Structures are given as structure tokens and as C-alpha cells.
Chain A
Amino acid sequence: MRSFFYVLSALAIIGLAFWSYQENYKTRASLKEVSALQNQIGLAREKLAVLRAEWAYLNRPERLRELAEINYDRLGLLPLSPEQFGKIDQVAFPAPELGPVTNPVDVSADLEANP
């Protein structure tokens, strides 16, 4: 009985050692992955910052104004002026649709009969 326990605990130790060895390597692998991902995140953020700066630079009012002037004949963009504000009552109601013709009057026949 006792020797059985000895063998059992020895096996348990071997098993635990194997398990912890594996866990250790798994942890190392995930730590490596995490640091790679963090690096990637950092690079992506840096890239994003550059893109945002570039977007802001390309959309600076000075450049947009120049572009609007260069492309005036195609786009015809002008500064917003007070006249461009409309009122809701300037918009016409849609014209009422004509109803279906149910009893047509034959005008031409009438004209032919009584010229």
C-alpha cells in the first residue's frame, strides 16, 4: 500500500513537472505574442497619427480654397452667401396627381357632327 503511494506521488510529481513546463512555455509564447501585438498597436497608432496629420494638412482651408479656384469651371464652387438660405415655404408642394379618366368625352366626333 505504502509503495503504491510512493509510486503515485512520484508519478504526480512527474505529471505536474510536465504540466508546469508546458505552461511555462505557453506563457512565454503568449508574452511574446503580446509584446509583438503591442508593438503592432504602437506602430498602427503612429501611422494613424501620421494619417490624421496628413488628412488635416490636405484639408487645410488654404489648400481647399486653391483647389476650388483651380477647378472653378468644373465645380463652380463659391463662398457661401446669405442668398443661399431658403425657406421651407419656398419649396412647392408636389402637384396633385391627375385622377384616372373614367368617362372620356369624344370631342373630335362631336366636331365632325356639327362643324
Chain B
Amino acid sequence: MIRTPLRPLTQILKARESGENPDVIERENIRARHEIMRDKSRMRAEGRLLVLGVIFACAFAVIGLRMGALAASEPHEPRAAATGASITAGRADILDRNGRILATNLTTHALYAQPPHMIDKARAARELVAIFPDLDEGKLVRQFTGSRKFIWIRKKISPEQMQAVHEIGDPGLMFGSREMRLYPNGKLAAHILGGASFGREGVQSAEVIGTAGVEKTYDDFLRDPTLDGQPLQLSIDMTIQAATREVLWGGMKLMNAKGAAAVLMDVHTGEVISMVSLPDFDPNTRPRVLTEGDASDSPLFNRAVQGVYELGSVFKIFAAAQALETGLVNPSTMVNTKGPLRWGKFRIRDFHNYGAQLSMTDVIVKSSNIGTANVAVKIGVKRQREFLASLGLLEATPVELIEAAGAKPLLPPNWSELSTMTISYGHGLSTSPLHLATAYSSVLNGGYRVKPTLMRQNGPRKGAPVVSERTSAQARSMLRQVVVRGTASFGEVEGYAVGGKTGTADKPKPNGGYYKDKVVATFASVFPAHDPKYVLVVTLDEPVETSGSKPRRTAGWTSVPVAAEIIRRVAPLLGLRPEVEPLHPTGVTLTSN
């Protein structure tokens, strides 16, 4: 670079000659040089500012465009991330206690039509009716030729039907994919599972929602995407459910009953191993709810949970257990059974006349209403009510069915002493068979309360104590006596020491009073009585046993043989080994002098 000197020699010499100050030239040159420097640095600074401005503008523009693009575009899954398990079915499966499938999903298709794309509308309608005979051809043609642009034809079609529709070859007939709920076992656990149907529907997908039973109770659980398709495991055992249903169905037919229900419960955990209500339905094609008439005539009606009946003498064991627990009686205390027992204008009678007095055990064995009523009077209104409440008999069962909360027991409007007497032998208080099974479990399992559940449990869940271990054993021994030498003699199953109590209650008429020839026959049993494992409650609605000269309706002739057959079939499946019942220790007798 050639620098201009500040003091150019020629100019200095010239200035000196003319006598001027040479410093002026130097200052002038310095000023000129400074000016150039200033201009340069300003240019550079301006250039930098410009570049910086452009960079900022670009950065803001990029951010702005990216935000706009993110806001306006459709979201899509990150493709590179290896997720895997997230591509699962929309609704989780339901399994039985051994992991066998009770409800699962199947992909199927829905059929819809878009008339503007259709070519030969009349032919398409004709061919569709040939595939789906329940469609109306005239209506289809009207819909296709009308102003509508979109028509649902079928919600679910099978692959064969889909192929047949393809073969029509009309471009206006289209398919949308659908998840379908499938119950492979058909009617087996219909009332427990309930059913499912479509909720909100789009063209390409529809949400499946539960409409009844555990499907509805656990709807949120089954649809929760964060659980990643974790199945719902029930306490039901499919094999046992199938055996129970088969035997109960046969029993219902043999006894000419209108309906039947059975509940098999684990006494220690409250798990419902099997619950059958007949008549039943196929949850794959759930029938419509009855809009008129008695709801209990519909196959949708779950007799085991929703059917609240006066269950009759099966309640006597509660009065006996409470009397034993409070120390009012022991099993051999004599109880007055002289009849008829009068209370105001009411009379309480027995089925037979049992004489002036019976021991407490025999009151249960022979099923004496008068004896039980006399004991109940000693217990008193308040204590009886508290005891029945502690067994859960005065509120709806907490079982995980959407219908359960609506099935509240029917209590007497005014719980008087007369109510106490009638309730002690099972009249005046209506409960469901599931209530009864729960209460029997609580009293007989050693005396701690259990809650009925349809979810598989790990190990017993001991609730608050209801009665003592000793009372529980005495109650079981009484129930065993009923089978050995009492009203339930048909209930004996070799090797399983069945104990139980029969109950035959007249059905109430809708407008007051009771039918003479319509009963609800119940047998509540526990097996094995010396080491309780399971409680089985069998209820038959309006049974008649006609093998004798007179029709027989008592539970001992109707429900008991059915229950015995269920136990005979089911106990080996439950893994119970037949045992010889241990005898009471003999040889040493406590005597007093």
C-alpha cells in the first residue's frame, strides 16, 4: 500500500521557501487521512449492521414459517422411533382367571354407499338385497336416487359378504374398517360381560363402548391407551362356568322352572368363580331392552344380581348365628316352637307341627319358622338390623357390574318387631342371590366379612370380623346337619361334606298378597362344611317337581338336587379332593358332677 506521507518533502521545501508554516500542511494531511479512515469504518459498520439485520430477519422468518407449518399441518407419528407395542387394538381383551379369552376384538368392515359415484343404482340395490336379505330393495333405491351423498348400509359385515359386495363391482359401494367386539364363548358369561356397541362413528373407524356388565363398568380401563392393551382378568373360571350353566340349564328344564340363577363364590376372597342367570342371551347379538312388561322376563335380566327376591328360610342361619354369637343360645339350647305364634293379628306357622320345643340345631334342621322367630325376638330389632347390615344385606352389592348398584334390597318400610320375626325366616326382606352368597361366605368362612368381586384376587382379603371363629364353626355344623338329616337330604355329595339351608318363599303378587302356587326355591350351600372353601347359591324361579302324585315345589325337592349335581360336577374341577369327613372326637366326654 502506498501511503501518502504527512510531510511531503516537495511541499515542505516549497513552504519553507515561501516562509509559510510547514506544520499546516501536515495537519491538513492528517485531517484528510482521518476523513478517509472515518468513511471507511462507517461503511464497514453499516455493512455489518446490514448483515446482522439480514441474519435476524432470516432467523425470524424461519421460526415464523416453521411455527406456521407446525400449526397448519396434520400431526404424524415419528417414523424412526422403534415403538412396536403401541400398535395394539383399541379395546383391551377380557380374560377368565386362567387367561382364556372371554372378549376380544376382530377387525371387520362397515359398508356404506356414496350415490353420486354409483353407476347402476337399481342393480346395486337388487344385488345388495340378495346378499343381505333383511334390507328393503325399494327403500335402498329411494335412498340411492335421493339427494343424500352418504348412506350407511351395514355396520358390520363378514369377509364373505365383503367379497360378495366387491363382486357387485359398483364404485359407489365402499368399506370402512371397524373394530368389532367378539365374545367367542357366546352365551357362557353373557350377564357378566354385558355387551358392547359403537359410540362415535367416523367413516374409517368407530369407537367401541361397553353397554352393560363389566364392559361398561371397566369401560375407561379397557379403552385407556396408556395401559397398552393390558387385559382385564376376571375371577370367573370358564370351565366351571360352563359346567354350572349346563347343569343349571338341565335342572331348570327338569324342574319346569321359568328362570334360574347360580352363584359360586370363594368364601375367603369373595371372588365369584361362576355366576349364571337363565334364561340368557348371546352378547354378540345383544337383544333390545324390553320397553313394556316385567323387566325380569327379559333374558337381559341378571337374576343373580338384579333379581331381588324374598329368599325364605335360607335366612334362618343368620338369626341362629347371631343368637350363638351373642350367647343367647348354644346349639343344644331348647327353643319354644309351639304354634301358631301370634303377633297382633298375624300368625306364624310351620310347615309341619314340630311339637312344643326343639334344640337350636333342630330348629335349623327342621326349618321351624316359629323357633327362629322366637329367637329373633330375643335378639331384638336393632341388633338384628345391625347384624344384617354388617353382612351387607341392606345395601346394593359392590360387585363390579353396572347393574349391581341399581339392585338395592327391599327393606320393610317400618322395621317393627313383626318385621324382625318375619325377616328371621327370610320374609319381608328381598335380596339377590349374590347378596346371599356374600353373607353366607362372611358367616361361614371363620367370621370375617368378604366383598363380592368379579376381579381376580391374590389371596384372601379379610374384612371386619362379623362373628367369631367358634360361631362360624357351629353354624357350619348346623348346616351340615340340615343335609345329613334335614330338609336338604338330596344335597349330599359323597366326599364333599355339603352343608346348606333350603328356602322356599311364595312369590308376591304385583298388587299385594302372595301366590299359592308360585315359589322361589333357594338352596344356599357351603362345601366342604368342615373346611369351607366355596359357597354355592342356587335359585329356581317357579319350579314344580311333578314325579310324585302331588306337584312338589319346596326347595328340598327342586333346588337341592340341582345344587348337588352342580357340586358333583364342579368340585373336582375346582381341584377339591373328596375327603372323608373328620368325626367329632369321641371317647372323652366333658361331664360335671
Q: How far does the alpha carbon of A55 sit from the alpha carbon of B87 in the complex, in Å?
A: 22
Q: How far is the CB of B525 from chain A (nearest CB, A)?
A: 16
Query: Which of chain B's residues 89-118 have a Cβ closer than 8 Å to chain A?
Result: 89, 100-101, 104-107
> How far does the Cβ of A100 sit from chain B's closest Cβ, in whole Å?
43
Binary contact track B172-201/A, C-beta < 8 Å → 1, others 0: 000000000010111010000000000000
Binds A, one of B236-244, B262-270, B357-365: B236-244
A24 to chain B, nearest CB (A): 14
Among A23-72, those with CB < 8 Å from B are: 30-31, 34-35, 38, 41-42, 45-46, 49-50, 52-53, 55-57, 59-62, 65
Cα–Cα distance between A60 and B493 once the two chains are bound (Å) = 28
4 closest residue pairs by CB, A with B: A61-B242, A56-B184, A56-B101, A57-B184
User: Is B104 touching A52 in the complex (CB atoms < 8 A)?
Assistant: yes
Decide if B242 touches A62 in the complex (CB within 8 Å): yes
Contact of B572 among A35, A38, A50, A82 (CB under 8 A): A82
How far does the alpha carbon of A35 sit from the alpha carbon of B573 in the complex, in Å? 48
Partner of A56 from B79, B100, B494, B573 at Cβ < 8 Å: B100
Taking a contact as CB atoms under 8 Å apart, the answer to whether A62 and B572 are in contact is no
Q: Is the CB of B107 within 8 A of A79?
A: no
What separation, in Å, do the CA atoms of A34 and B84 have in the docked complex? 11
A residues bordering B, Cβ < 8 Å? Answer: 30-31, 34-35, 38, 41-42, 45-46, 49-50, 52-53, 55-57, 59-62, 65, 79-85
| Smallest beta-carbon distance A62→chain B, Å | 7
**17 A-B contacts (beta carbon < 8 Å):** A31-B80, A42-B87, A45-B89, A50-B107, A52-B101, A52-B104, A53-B104, A53-B106, A56-B185, A57-B184, A60-B184, A61-B238, A61-B242, A62-B242, A80-B573, A82-B568, A82-B571
Contact size range, B: 35 or more
A43 to chain B, nearest CB (A): 10
User: With the chains together, A106 CA to B567 CA distance in Å?
Assistant: 64
A45 to B569, CA, bound (A): 38
Q: Are A60 and B188 in contact (CB under 8 A)?
A: yes
Let me know if B106 and A61 touch, CB within 8 A. Answer: no
- Give the distance in Å from the alpha carbon of A106 to the alpha carbon of B577 in the complex: 54
Query: Which B-chain residue is minimally distant from A42 (CB atoms)?
Result: B87
CA distance A76 to B578 in the complex (A): 23
Asked if residues A50 and B496 are in contact (CB atoms below 8 Å), the reply is no
Once the chains bind, are B87 and A62 in contact (CB under 8 Å)? no
Residues of chain B from 452 to 492 with CB closer than 8 A to chain A in the complex = none
In whole Å, how far is B275's beta carbon from the nearest beta carbon of chain A? 16
Other-chain contact of B495, A46, A52, A82 (Cβ < 8 Å):
A82
Given contacts A60-B185, A82-B494, is CB(A49)–CB(B80) below 8 Å? no
Tell me which residues across on chain B come within 8 A of A65, comparing CB atoms.
Answer: 242, 246
Residues of B within 8 A of A53 (CB): 101, 104-106, 182, 184
Q: Which residues of A contact B188 (CB under 8 A)?
A: 60-62
Contacts of B185 in A (CB 8 A): 56, 60-62
Residues of A contacting B: mostly: helix
Contact among A45, A79, A80, A84 with B87 in the assembled complex (CB-CB below 8 Å): A45
> B547 contacts which chain A residues (CB < 8 A)?
none
B88 at the interface (CB under 8 A from A): yes
Task: Find out whether the CB atom of B568 lies under 8 angstroms from the CB atom of A81.
Answer: yes
> Which residue of the partner chain B has the closest CB to A64?
B242
| Chain B 69-96 interface residues, beta-carbon cutoff 8 Å to A | 79-80, 82, 84, 87-89
B243 touches A79 (CB 8 A): yes
Neighbouring A residues of B569 by C-beta, 8 Å = 79-80
A49-B105, A60-B186 are known; give 16 further A-B pairs, CB within 8 A.
Answer: A30-B80, A34-B80, A49-B104, A52-B104, A53-B182, A60-B185, A61-B188, A61-B238, A61-B242, A65-B242, A80-B569, A82-B495, A82-B568, A82-B571, A82-B572, A85-B578
Residues of B within 8 A of A35 (CB): 79
Identity of the chain A residue whose Cβ is nearest the Cβ of B494 in the assembled complex: A82
Contact of B578 among A38, A52, A82 (CB under 8 A): A82
In the bound complex, how far is the Cα of B572 from the Cα of A109, in angstroms? 62
- Return A60 CB to nearest CB of chain B, in Å: 5
Chain B, 245-271, CB within 8 A of any chain A CB: 246
Kindly report which residue of chain B lies nearest to residue A50, judged by CB atoms.
B106
Contacts of A85 in B (CB 8 A): 572, 577-578
Tell me which residues from 16 to 75 in chain B have a Cβ below 8 Å from any Cβ of chain A: none
Q: Is the CB of A45 within 8 A of B88?
A: yes
**CA distance in complex: A111, B357 (Å):** 85
CA separation between A81 and B573, bound complex, in Å?
Answer: 8
Alpha-carbon distance A80/B569, docked complex (angstroms): 7
Which A residues are CB-close (under 8 A) to B186? 60, 62
The reply to whether B89 and A49 form a contact with Cβ atoms under 8 Å apart is: yes
> What mask results when residues 147 to 187 of chain B are scored 1 for a CB within 8 Å of chain A, else 0?
00000000000000000000000000000000000101110
Q: B568: which A residues are within 8 A, CB to CB?
A: 81-82
Which residues in window 388-446 of B have CB below 8 A to A? none
Closest B residue to A46 using CB positions: B107
Contacts of A31 in B (CB 8 A): 79-80
